[in-house]
Amino acid sequence: MAFHPSQEEAIRHVDGPMMVLAGPGSGKTTVITHRTKYLIEEAGIDPGKILVITFTRAAAKEMEERFIRLMEGRPARVSFGTFHSVFFTILKYAYRYQAADIVREEQRIRYIREMMEQYDVEIEDEREFTASILSEISFVKSEMVSLDHYYSKNCSETVFKKMYQGYEERMRKAGLLDFDDMLVMCYELFRERKDILQAWQNKFSYILIDEFQDINKVQYEIVKMLALPNNNLFIVGDDDQSVYRFRGARPEIMLGFTKDYPQAKLVLLGMNYRSTEEIVEKACALIGHNEKRYEKKLTAARKAGKPVVTSMSTEPQEETLRIVEEIKDYVKAGYELEDIGILYRTNLNPRLMIERLMEYNIPFTMKDSLPNLYEHWITQNVLAYIKAARGNLKRSNILQILNRPNRYISRDALEEADVSWNKVKAQYQDKGWMVERIEQLEYDLLMIRDMPPAAAVNYIRKGVGYDDYIKEYARFRRMKPEELLEVLDQLKESAAGYKTMEQWFAHMEEYKKQLQHQARTQREAARGVSLMTMHSSKGLEFKIVYILDANEGITPHQKAVLDADIEEERRMFYVAMTRAKERLHVCYVRERYGKKQEMSRFIEEYLGKSPSQPLGRQGRPNR
């Protein structure tokens, strides 16, 4: 097999630290597997002393299988694993831990829910809050942050501290450990027991790490100890593809590697074997705007190609219709549906695209489970108003709207299974201002009753004051209100397509059935156009890629405020662009939810134009 000179240099490296900067599509897995083979066959290294670490079980399995094929089935005792599997093995020998001692995800969720009850934490979106708190607990552990200096993103510091300490207490009582405990305990073990550390240093003399840009602080500290004294540490990664800051991954660790190891050799795998020249050039023009990165010159092995298409649509319906028409054209031209990937920034983005694909009977698969807009707690609140207006006065339904916004009506005032407003008013007969509030709610329900769907949603938002309630809730949850208001915007956009409530409700039911069918099909045989978030697309490739909704506020996301956040968003867009092998389409809209939208700054950056040069409808500068 012929290698590029830079690949050859990396493969033939034996002793001492080396950092391999591997651009997208540059053959990093090839380098890792061939270097492992070279160490055994040419450098005479005992295979039992080689450790190859990557981040996911799937990646570790694939790496091991490729290595076995390379060795033509000859047994080689090289250890392949994830950080967690390697560190858990170390803990197994030290503390006799078994797989049964690892906490299950449903147990972790149960602990948080128990504490929410214990501390009277009332949250609308309980599932999302629970996941966010567990993510924060993980971050605090993996970054070794002091609780006294941690500012929670989801609730007050007091509540988070109670949650964290309560979670830890429950874990210790049950004798369980989570994935972050594996890292922290391994770090502490190596710090305190030099004899155990030395035994593992002797065991693994050569360490290779894939996707090094995704490493977090505690993982790096352990690896540094494990690699001593010879520092035969071979790291492969791309700081430009570090997109997991929310999990504690820091490109700064990779950027500081040569400071920690001044003697480290540096190799750039700068030949992209995946994408055409046009795609590589545009992607490099974009990522060049990041300041905290290693400078790289990437070259495309595939020269000829079509230009990157940047296209503007008036609004999302037009955008999705055009994409569907283009997909049909690609299929007529001989492409398979499996050759096409549609990428987006968050799971809220693809709803219209999915509805359009369903409408045209175009099969698709999804890497991420898609949240159903119509099952979101905000949607459920709005629908509860509409159902109440249309006569559903069941206690369970009225409780969803009673104090959203807050009317200070006690749940105890709703005594029976079916609510009677006269009885509720009777409970407050000595408080005229409360009776007025109940009468206002009755009036609002009367107003909503005969409205078409979009008008009803609008009245609930503005007339009833649900938008104000959402803004208040966002403040309590330390969220940007826009994140929650977008759910209402999407709901109103959906409602606008239907004249009657019956039609709209029928659509919701059909959409739910289609998503369930989609989930079943996914399990059986995944075929069709691939839809996924930019995060999930990492490591994949498609002949044709569409990037949806390249607008300010979506990508870069409205949550990105600091320079470091914007740089991470730019890396995410770069990852999305470099998934494309032959054709890349970047799409943006001029208007959404009746509001003017700005084109993403990332488009201006890769086109090398100033914002004062607007794009024409087909992606050409206007004259």
Asked if residue 622 has pLDDT above 60, the reply is no
Instruction: Tell me what the pLDDT averaged over the chain comes to.
Output: 90
Query: What does the alpha-carbon distance between residue 593 and residue 489 come to, in Å, rounded to a whole number?
Result: 6
Residues paired with residue 470 on neighbouring β-strands, in sequence order: none
What are the tens digits of pLDDT across the range 98-128? 999 999 999 999 999 999 999 888 888 888 8
Specify the pLDDT at position 621. Answer: 30
Global confidence as pTM: 0.87
For residue 304, how many C-alpha atoms fall within 13 Å in the half-sphere facing its CB? 0
Residue 618 has pLDDT above 50, yes or no: no
Q: What is the pLDDT of residues 57-94, one digit of tens each?
A: 888 999 999 999 999 877 779 999 999 999 999 999 99
* pLDDT for res 522: 62
Tell which wins on pLDDT, 613 or 428: 428
Tokens found for residue 530 = 């691939």
For residues 285 and 584, the answer to whether their CB atoms sit within 8 Å is no
| Angle at 142 (CA atoms; ends 136, 146), nearest 5 degrees | 75
For residues 523 and 432, the model is more confident at: 432
Distance (Å, rounded) from C-alpha 166 to C-alpha 348? 33
* pLDDT exceeds cutoff 50 at 257: yes
Q: Is 331 or 249 the better-scoring residue by pLDDT? A: 331
CA separation for the pair 554, 194 (Å, rounded): 49
Q: What is the pLDDT of residue 485?
A: 93
Q: From 523, 584, 27, select the one nearest 343 (Cα to Cα).
A: 584
- Residue 478, Ramachandran bin (φ over 0: left; ψ between -120 and 50: alpha; else beta): left
pLDDT in tens, 193-212: 999 999 999 999 999 999 99
The DSSP string of 14-58 is: -SS-EEEEE-TTS-HHHHHHHHHHHHHHTS---GGGEEEEESSHH
Whether the CB-CB separation of 238 and 24 falls below 8 Å is answered with: yes
Q: What is the pLDDT of residue 615?
A: 38
pLDDT band at 511 (very low <50, low <70, confident <90, very high): confident
pLDDT tens track for 556-601: 998 888 899 999 999 999 999 999 999 999 999 999 888 899 999 9
Give helix 351-359 / helix 501-524 axis angle, nearest 10°: 90
pLDDT tens-digit map of 361-378? 898 888 777 778 899 999
> What is residue 524's predicted lDDT score, i.e. its pLDDT?
63
Q: What is the Cα Rg of the chain in Å?
A: 28
501-529 b/e (C-beta count within 10 Å ≥ 16 → b) = beebbebbeebeeebeebeebbeeeeebb
Per-residue confidence band for 609, with pLDDT thresholds at 50, 70 and 90: low
Share of the chain above pLDDT 70, in %: 96
Average pLDDT over residues 20-32: 93
133-136 LR contacts (CB < 8 Å, sep 24+) = 133/160, 133/163, 134/108, 134/109, 135/246, 135/247, 136/160
Could you tell me if 76 and 67 are in contact, meaning their C-beta atoms sit under 8 angstroms apart?
Answer: yes
Examine the pLDDT at 617 and tell me if it is beyond 50: no
Q: Say which residues have a Cβ less than 8 Å from residue 12's Cβ, sequence separation at least 6.
A: 35, 38, 42
What is the predicted pLDDT for the residue at 120?
A: 85
Residues 570 and 556 sit within 8 Å (Cβ to Cβ)? yes
pLDDT of residue 224: 97
In our burial notation (b when 16+ CB lie closer than 10 A, e otherwise), range 533-560 reads bbbbbbbeebebbbbbbbbbbbbbbeeb
pLDDT of residue 124: 83
Instruction: Determine which helix (DSSP H) or strand (DSSP E) holds 336, and give its type and residue range.
Output: none
CA pair distance 441, 474, nearest whole angstrom: 23
- Asked whether residue 517 carries a pLDDT value surpassing 80, the answer given is no
**Cα 283–Cα 287–Cα 289 angle in degrees, nearest 5:** 130
Highest mean pLDDT among 5-9, 57-61, 291-295: 5-9
* pLDDT grade for 8, boundaries at 50, 70 and 90: very high
158 near 120, Cβ under 8 Å?
Answer: no
Q: How many CB atoms lie within 10 A of CB 99?
A: 7
Q: Please, which pLDDT band fits residue 616 given cuts at 50, 70 and 90? A: very low
User: Which of 45-49, 278-282, 410-414, 545-549 is least confident?
Assistant: 410-414
SS3 for 415-468 is CCCECCHHHHHHHCCCCHHHHHHHHHHHHHHHHHHCCCHHHHHHHHHHHCCHHH
The reported pLDDT for the residue numbered 523 is 59
CA distance 169 to 357: 48
